[in-house]
């Protein structure tokens, strides 16, 4: 998985290279220029599909063996038997995304071949030493008394598996990445509290069935919100969330995660969190969080999918209610909830 994560900084994208200057200085001379060009083309075509290349590849490959770079390359060669069944059975299945993956397979195979020829597995071992094993031991001790799953079940309204699998990465910054099953990727240097927050967040995905009538009703309301429309269109695409459906999924998970981490004592204060994260674009998360708190949802629990449907039918997801809730959480005027990078304030209601 770290090899797939490393593709982002190797592409030269400054969103990722800022975290890995030393590693790139050591590895790039070994990695052929034509492979970099191919990688950049893959990244551009992935973005055109509203996909973040590294996290998307981690998601698809998590359907098969990922223990070594050789495993990943073999799974790519035999994708129809090793990856397709698990990916198709997951909540993340999209035929269009799979078609892109198959189209990209020859180029991706060449990139992974170049990565292997440049000695990536040995390079990674040299960079990490035994830090993964040491961190895993310490993290197991810290997590032993923390029941994230029970808190998530209370708010989702359905049972989850008992265990969470955490893959400790080096090249995953700045992401936490949810993949298939109750498994996510996080950086090995992240604090215990941040890993708990990652666990509380990532396993929530997806927090609802996007095809359910309650969620379709909620999306119909949110699509008429000019502020959310502009956030989706004008935010920095490096953050992801380039569709309203994707933003709704993410911000619902963020709102629930905030409730959970507050109960577990590891939360970042809501106002500080959402005013700072991703250029302040998660206004929807702040609004949902405020509405959930007003209902005492963190105390009573419930079925978030049903709650969202009721909120939509009652008009609480409309701009007047949602923006007022977000304004209260963020400590900002309702008309000044988000400003795009280098732009004017986005309107919070129709002119």
Looking at the predicted structure, is the pLDDT value of residue 347 above 90? no
Same domain for 268 and 234: yes
Return the higher-pLDDT residue of 242 and 122.
Answer: 122
Say what the pLDDT of residue 351 is: 35
| Domain identity same for 192 and 228 | no
Burial class for 50, CB neighbours closer than 10 Å (0-12, 13-18, 19+): middle
Confidence of residue 259 (pLDDT cuts 50, 70, 90): very high
Q: pLDDT tens digits, residue range 162-196? A: 888 999 999 999 998 999 999 999 999 999 999 99
Confidence (pLDDT) at 348: 56
In a domain, 63, yes or no: yes
Buried b or exposed e, range 189-213, using 16+ CB within 10 angstroms = ebeeeebbbbbbbbbbebbbebeee
The mean pLDDT value for 313-339 works out to 96
Do both 138 and 218 map to the same domain?
Answer: no
Instruction: Write out the residue range of the structural domain in which residue 222 sits.
Output: 213-330
What pLDDT digit, counting tens, does each position of 100-146 carry? 999 999 999 999 999 999 999 999 999 999 999 999 999 999 988 89
The pLDDT confidence band at residue 345, using thresholds 50, 70 and 90, is low
121 and 12 within one domain:
yes
Same domain, 312 and 256: yes
Query: What is the torsional sign of CA 244, 60, 211, 96?
Result: positive
Coil, strand or helix at 165:
strand
pLDDT digits (tens, 9 = 90+) for 40-99: 999 999 999 888 999 999 999 999 999 999 999 999 999 999 999 999 999 999 999 999
Average pLDDT over residues 308-320: 97
Share of the chain above pLDDT 90, in %: 88
Q: What is the pLDDT of residue 162?
A: 85
- The neighbouring-strand residues paired with 166 are 184
Compare 343 and 108 and report the one with higher pLDDT: 108
Task: Identify whether residues 50 and 164 lie together within a single domain.
Answer: no
Is the pTM value of this prediction over 0.95?
no
Q: Compute φ and ψ for 123, nearest 5 degrees.
A: -60, -45
Q: Are 199 and 142 in contact (CB under 8 A)?
A: no
| 29 plus 146 within the same structural domain | no
Burial 268-297 (b: 16+ CB within 10 A, else e): bebeebbbeebebbbbbbbbbbbbbbeeeb
- Please check whether residue 175 lies inside any domain of the structure: yes
Nearest to 100 by CA among 72, 60, 70, 73: 60
Instruction: Report the run of H or E that residue 166 belongs to, with start and end.
Output: strand 165-169
pLDDT tens digits for range 270-286? 999 999 999 999 999 99
Is 54 domain-assigned?
yes
Number of domains in the chain: 3
What's the pLDDT at 238?
83
More confident of the two residues 144 and 305: 305
Residues 34 and 77 placed together within one structural domain of the fold: yes
Contact of 157 with 302, CB cutoff 8 Å: yes
pLDDT at 350: 43
Tokens of 84: 């397709």
Are 159 and 223 members of one domain?
no
Q: Average pLDDT in the 315-338 region?
A: 97
Helix (H/G/I), strand (E/B), else coil: 93:
coil
């Amino acid at each position: 998985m770290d090899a797939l994560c490393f593709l982002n900084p190797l592409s030269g994208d400054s969103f990722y290279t800022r975290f890995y200057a030393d590693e790139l200085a050591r590895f790039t001379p070994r990695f052929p220029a034509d492979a970099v060009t191919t990688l950049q083309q893959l990244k551009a075509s992935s973005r055109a599909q509203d996909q973040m290349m590294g996290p998307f590849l981690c998601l698809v490959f998590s359907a098969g063996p990922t223990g070594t770079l050789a495993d990943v390359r073999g799974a790519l060669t035999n994708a129809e038997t090793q990856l397709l069944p698990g990916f198709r059975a997951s909540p993340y299945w999209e035929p269009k995304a799979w078609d892109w993956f198959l189209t990209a397979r020859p180029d991706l195979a060449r990139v992974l071949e170049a990565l292997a020829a440049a000695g990536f597995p040995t390079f990674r071992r040299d960079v990490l030493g035994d830090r993964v094993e040491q961190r895993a031991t310490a993290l197991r001790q810290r997590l032993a008394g923390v029941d994230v799953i029970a808190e998530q079940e209370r708010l989702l309204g359905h049972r989850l598996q008992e265990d969470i699998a955490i893959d400790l990465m080096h090249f995953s910054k700045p992401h936490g990445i949810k993949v298939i099953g109750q498994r996510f990727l996080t950086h090995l240097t992240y604090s215990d509290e941040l890993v708990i927050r990652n666990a509380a967040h990532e396993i929530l995905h997806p927090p609802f069935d996007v095809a359910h009538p309650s969620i379709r009703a909620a999306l119909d309301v949110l699509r008429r919100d000019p502020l959310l429309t502009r956030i989706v269109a004008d935010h920095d695409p490096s953050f992801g969330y380039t569709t309203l459906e994707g933003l709704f999924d993410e911000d619902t998970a963020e709102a629930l995660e905030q409730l959970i981490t507050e109960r577990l004592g590891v939360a970042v204060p809501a106002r500080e969190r959402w005013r700072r994260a991703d250029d302040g674009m998660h206004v929807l998360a702040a609004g949902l969080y405020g509405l959930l708190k007003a209902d005492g949802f963190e105390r009573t629990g419930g079925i978030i999918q049903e709650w969202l449907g009721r909120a939509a039918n009652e008009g609480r997801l409309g701009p007047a209610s949602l923006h007022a809730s977000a304004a209260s959480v963020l400590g900002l005027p309702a008309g000044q909830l988000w400003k795009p990078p280098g732009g004017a304030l986005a309107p919070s209601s129709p002119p």
